[in-house]
Amino acid sequence: MTENQKIVVIGANAAGLRAGARAKRLLPNASITVIDHGRYISYGACGMPYVVSGDIEYADELRRTAYGVIRDADFFRSAKGLEVIIQTDVEKIDREAKKIICKSLITGETSEYSYDKLVIATGSNPIIIPGVPTGSKRISTFKTFEDALAIQEAFQKGQIEKIGLIGAGPIGCELAEAAGAMWGAEAILIDAAPNILPAMLDVEMARPIENYLRSEDVKIYTDCPLEGITETEDGLVIKTPKGEFEVNHAVIAVGVRPNTKLAADCGLELGKGGGIVVDEKMTTSDPDIFAAGDCAELKHLITGKPIQLPLGSLANRQGRVIGSNLGGGDERFGPVVGSAAVKIFDMNVASTGLTEKAAKDAGFDVGVAWGTATDIADYYPDKQNLFLKLVYDKGTTKLLGLQGYSQGEVVKRIDVFAALLKHDGKLEDLLDAEFAYAPPYAPAVDPLYSIGCTARNDLLEGLKALPPDASIDDKLVVDVRRTQEAADRPLPEESCQNIPFETFRDCCADVSKDKEVVVVCSKGVRSSEAARILKQAGCADVSYVGGGSLMKLGQ
Amino acid sequence: MTENQKIVVIGANAAGLRAGARAKRLLPNASITVIDHGRYISYGACGMPYVVSGDIEYADELRRTAYGVIRDADFFRSAKGLEVIIQTDVEKIDREAKKIICKSLITGETSEYSYDKLVIATGSNPIIIPGVPTGSKRISTFKTFEDALAIQEAFQKGQIEKIGLIGAGPIGCELAEAAGAMWGAEAILIDAAPNILPAMLDVEMARPIENYLRSEDVKIYTDCPLEGITETEDGLVIKTPKGEFEVNHAVIAVGVRPNTKLAADCGLELGKGGGIVVDEKMTTSDPDIFAAGDCAELKHLITGKPIQLPLGSLANRQGRVIGSNLGGGDERFGPVVGSAAVKIFDMNVASTGLTEKAAKDAGFDVGVAWGTATDIADYYPDKQNLFLKLVYDKGTTKLLGLQGYSQGEVVKRIDVFAALLKHDGKLEDLLDAEFAYAPPYAPAVDPLYSIGCTARNDLLEGLKALPPDASIDDKLVVDVRRTQEAADRPLPEESCQNIPFETFRDCCADVSKDKEVVVVCSKGVRSSEAARILKQAGCADVSYVGGGSLMKLGQ
Architecture of domain B346-457: 2-Layer Sandwich (3.30)
Asked if A422 has any chain B CB less than 8 Å from its own CB, the reply is yes
Statement: residue B555 has pLDDT above 80: no
Q: What is the C-alpha to C-alpha distance for residues A527 and A530, in angstroms, rounded to an integer?
A: 5
Q: What is the C-alpha to C-alpha distance for residues A197 and A358, in angstroms, rounded to an integer?
A: 13
Beta carbons within 8 Å of B127's beta carbon, 6+ residues apart: B252, B254, B255, B256, B257
The C-alpha angle with vertex A443 and arms to A440 and A448, in degrees rounded to 5, equals: 120
Asked if A487 has any chain B CB less than 8 Å from its own CB, the reply is no
Closest CA to A201 of A417, A367, A364, A389: A389
Count of beta carbons in the 10 Å neighbourhood of residue B258: 25
Q: What is the C-alpha to C-alpha distance for residues B82 and B74, in angstroms, rounded to an integer?
A: 9
Which residues from chain B sit within 8 angstroms of residue A378, using beta carbons? 64, 66
ipTM of this model? 0.96
Which residues from chain B sit within 8 angstroms of residue A28, using beta carbons? 533, 536
Beta carbons within 8 Å of A249's beta carbon, 6+ residues apart: A138, A139, A140, A151, A154, A159, A160, A162, A163, A164, A235, A236
Homologous superfamily of domain range A6-123+257-326: FAD/NAD(P)-binding domain (3.50.50.60)
- The single-letter DSSP state of residue B10 is E
B513 in Cβ contact with B539 (< 8 Å): yes
Q: What is the C-alpha to C-alpha distance for residues A459 and B313, in angstroms, rounded to an integer?
A: 24
**Tens of pLDDT, residues B196-210:** 999 999 999 999 999
Q: Which candidate in A18, A171, A173, A379 is best for mutational testing of the B interface (most B CBs within 10 A)?
A: A379
Q: Where are the alpha helices (DSSP H) in A362-442?
A: 411-422, 427-432
Q: What is the C-alpha to C-alpha distance for residues A243 and A241, in angstroms, rounded to an integer?
A: 6
Q: What is the C-alpha to C-alpha distance for residues A235 and A219, in angstroms, rounded to an integer?
A: 18
Distances from the Cα of B134 to the Cαs of A335, B129, B161, B229, in angstroms?
61, 10, 22, 10
Closest CA to A309 of A323, A322, A320, A299: A299
Q: Does A317 contact B449 at a Cβ distance shorter than 8 Å? A: yes
Statement: residue B24 has pLDDT above 80: yes
Q: Where are the alpha helices (DSSP H) in B354-394?
A: 356-361
Beta carbons within 8 Å of B381's beta carbon, 6+ residues apart: A55, A56
* DSSP per-residue codes, A489-544: S--S-SSEEE--GGGHHHHGGGS-SSS-EEEE-SSSHHHHHHHHHHHHTT-SSEEE
Q: What is the C-alpha to C-alpha distance for residues A465 and A459, in angstroms, rounded to an integer?
A: 10
Beta carbons within 8 Å of B463's beta carbon, 6+ residues apart: B457, B528, B531, B532, B535, B543, B544
Considering only CB atoms, B55 lies closest to which of A46, A56, A381, namely A381
**Nearest residue on chain B to A351, alpha-carbon basis:** B436
Asked if B385 has any chain A CB less than 8 Å from its own CB, the reply is no
**Nearest residue on chain B to A315, alpha-carbon basis:** B444
B45 in Cβ contact with B13 (< 8 Å): yes
Q: What is the C-alpha to C-alpha distance for residues A438 and A450, in angstroms, rounded to an integer?
A: 17
Q: How far is B44 from chain A (nearest CA, A)?
A: 8
- Per-residue pLDDT, averaged over B369-378, amounts to 97
B366 in Cβ contact with B353 (< 8 Å): no
Q: What is the C-alpha to C-alpha distance for residues B12 and B77, in angstroms, rounded to an integer?
A: 12
Between positions 38 and 97 of B, the ones with CB within 8 A of A are 44, 46-47, 50, 55-56, 61-62, 64, 66-69, 75, 78-79, 81
Confidence (pLDDT) at A166: 97
Q: Does B352 contact A434 at a Cβ distance shorter than 8 Å? A: yes
A530 in Cβ contact with A519 (< 8 Å): yes
Q: What is the C-alpha to C-alpha distance for residues B486 and B467, in angstroms, rounded to an integer?
A: 20
Which residues from chain B sit within 8 angstroms of residue A419, using beta carbons? 416, 419-420, 423, 433
Closest CA to A374 of A346, A342, A413: A413
Backbone angles phi, psi at B153, to 5 degrees: -65, -40
Q: How far is B329 from chain A (nearest CA, A)?
A: 10
Considering only CB atoms, A374 lies closest to which of B66, B438, B446, namely B66
Confidence (pLDDT) at A267: 98
Q: Does A78 contact B352 at a Cβ distance shorter than 8 Å? A: no
Q: Does A377 contact B418 at a Cβ distance shorter than 8 Å? A: no
Q: CB-based burial of residue A42 (10 Å sphere; 0-12 exposed, 13-18 middle, 19+ buried)?
A: buried
Is A465-553 in the same CATH topology as A139-254? no
Considering only CB atoms, B379 lies closest to which of A56, A482, A502, namely A56
Asked if A538 has any chain B CB less than 8 Å from its own CB, the reply is no
Q: Does B439 contact A46 at a Cβ distance shorter than 8 Å? A: yes
Hey, what CATH class is A139-254 in? alpha beta
Count of beta carbons in the 10 Å neighbourhood of residue B508: 18
Q: What is the C-alpha to C-alpha distance for residues A365 and B554, in angstroms, rounded to an integer?
A: 53
B446 in Cβ contact with B380 (< 8 Å): no
Question: Cα Rg for chain A, rounded, in angstroms?
Answer: 26
Q: Domain B6-124+257-326, what fold?
A: FAD/NAD(P)-binding domain (3.50.50)
Which residues from chain B sit within 8 angstroms of residue A320, using beta carbons? 431, 453
Distances from the Cα of A547 to the Cαs of A205, A413, A502, in angstroms?
11, 16, 19
Count of beta carbons in the 10 Å neighbourhood of residue A368: 21
Q: Does B381 contact A445 at a Cβ distance shorter than 8 Å? A: no
Asked if A459 has any chain B CB less than 8 Å from its own CB, the reply is no
- The single-letter DSSP state of residue B508 is G
Q: Which candidate in A434, A451, A484, A507 is best for mutational testing of the B interface (most B CBs within 10 A)?
A: A434
Asked if B316 has any chain A CB less than 8 Å from its own CB, the reply is yes
Confidence (pLDDT) at A273: 84
* DSSP per-residue codes, B265-321: HTT--B-TTSSBP--TT-B-SSTTEEE-GGGBPEEBTTT-SEE----HHHHHHHHHH
Q: What is the C-alpha to C-alpha distance for residues B389 and B394, in angstroms, rounded to an integer?
A: 15
The C-alpha angle with vertex A528 and arms to A522 and A534, in degrees rounded to 5, equals: 120
Q: Does A62 contact B379 at a Cβ distance shorter than 8 Å? A: yes
Q: Does A437 contact B78 at a Cβ distance shorter than 8 Å? A: no
A116 in Cβ contact with A23 (< 8 Å): no
Between positions 150 and 189 of B, the ones with CB within 8 A of A are 170
Q: Does B529 contact A439 at a Cβ distance shorter than 8 Å? A: no
Backbone angles phi, psi at A316, to 5 degrees: -60, -45
Asked if B31 has any chain A CB less than 8 Å from its own CB, the reply is no
Question: Cα Rg for chain B, rounded, in angstroms?
Answer: 26
Reduced to 3 states, what is the DSSP secondary structure of residue A347? strand
Closest CA to B371 of B460, B434, B452: B452
Which residues from chain A sit within 8 angstroms of residue B339, using beta carbons? 434-437
Q: What is the C-alpha to C-alpha distance for residues A433 and A428, in angstroms, rounded to an integer?
A: 9
**Nearest residue on chain A to B537, alpha-carbon basis:** A28
Q: How far is B109 from chain A (nearest CA, A)?
A: 30
Q: Domain B465-553, what fold?
A: Oxidized Rhodanese; domain 1 (3.40.250)
Q: What is the C-alpha to C-alpha distance for residues A169 and A126, in angstroms, rounded to an integer?
A: 13
Residues in chain A: 555
Q: Which candidate in B437, B480, B507, B522 is best for mutational testing of the A interface (most A CBs within 10 A)?
A: B437
Count of beta carbons in the 10 Å neighbourhood of residue A492: 10
Model's pTM, two decimal places?
Answer: 0.97
Which residues from chain B sit within 8 angstroms of residue A50, using beta carbons? 379-380, 439
Q: How far is A313 from chain B (nearest CA, A)?
A: 5
- Per-residue pLDDT, averaged over B24-39, amounts to 96
Backbone angles phi, psi at B378, to 5 degrees: -70, -10
Statement: residue B45 has pLDDT above 60: yes
Q: Which residues pair with A342 in a beta bridge?
A: A349
Considering only CB atoms, B411 lies closest to which of A350, A412, A532, namely A412
Domain boundary assignment for chain B: 6-124+257-326, 139-254, 346-457, 465-553
Considering only CB atoms, A419 lies closest to which of B66, B416, B529, namely B416
The C-alpha angle with vertex B191 and arms to B188 and B370, in degrees rounded to 5, equals: 105
Q: How many residue contacts between A and B have a Cβ separation below 8 Å?
A: 260
Q: Does A429 contact B422 at a Cβ distance shorter than 8 Å? A: yes
Asked if B380 has any chain A CB less than 8 Å from its own CB, the reply is yes
Q: Does B317 contact A431 at a Cβ distance shorter than 8 Å? A: yes
Q: CB-based burial of residue B409 (10 Å sphere; 0-12 exposed, 13-18 middle, 19+ buried)?
A: buried
Statement: residue B1 has pLDDT above 80: no
Of B308 and A9, the structure prediction assigns the larger pLDDT to A9
- The single-letter DSSP state of residue B461 is H
Asked if A504 has any chain B CB less than 8 Å from its own CB, the reply is yes
List chain A pLDDT tens, one digit each, 555 residues.
566 899 999 999 999 999 999 999 999 999 999 999 999 999 988 999 999 988 898 899 999 998 899 999 999 999 999 999 999 999 999 999 999 999 999 999 999 999 999 999 999 999 989 889 988 999 999 999 889 999 999 999 999 999 999 999 999 999 999 999 889 999 999 999 999 999 999 999 999 999 999 999 999 999 999 999 999 998 999 999 999 999 999 999 999 999 999 999 999 999 988 999 999 999 999 999 999 999 999 999 999 999 989 999 999 999 999 999 999 999 999 999 999 999 999 999 999 999 999 999 999 999 999 999 999 999 999 999 999 999 999 999 999 999 999 999 999 999 999 999 999 999 999 999 999 999 999 999 999 999 999 999 999 989 999 999 999 999 999 999 999 999 999 999 988 999 999 999 888 888 888 889 999 999 999 999 999 999 999 998 999 999 999 999 987
Asked if A415 has any chain B CB less than 8 Å from its own CB, the reply is yes
Closest CA to A418 of A524, A324, A314, A281: A314
Residues in chain B: 555
**Tens of pLDDT, residues B48-85:** 999 998 889 889 999 999 888 999 999 999 999 999 99
Q: How far is B379 from chain A (nearest CA, A)?
A: 6
Considering only CB atoms, B340 lies closest to which of A316, A411, A436, namely A436
Residue A295 half-sphere exposure toward CB, CA atoms < 13 A: 26
Statement: residue B378 has pLDDT above 60: yes
Q: How far is B508 from chain A (nearest CA, A)?
A: 12
Count of beta carbons in the 10 Å neighbourhood of residue B441: 26
* DSSP per-residue codes, B178-227: IIIIIH--EEEEE-SSSSSSTTT--HHHHHHHHHHHHHTT-EEE-S----
Q: Does B379 contact A64 at a Cβ distance shorter than 8 Å? A: yes
Confidence (pLDDT) at A248: 96
Q: Which candidate in A17, A42, A67, A309 is best for mutational testing of the B interface (most B CBs within 10 A)?
A: A67
Backbone angles phi, psi at A351, to 5 degrees: -155, 160
Asked if A440 has any chain B CB less than 8 Å from its own CB, the reply is yes
Q: Does B28 contact A434 at a Cβ distance shorter than 8 Å? A: no
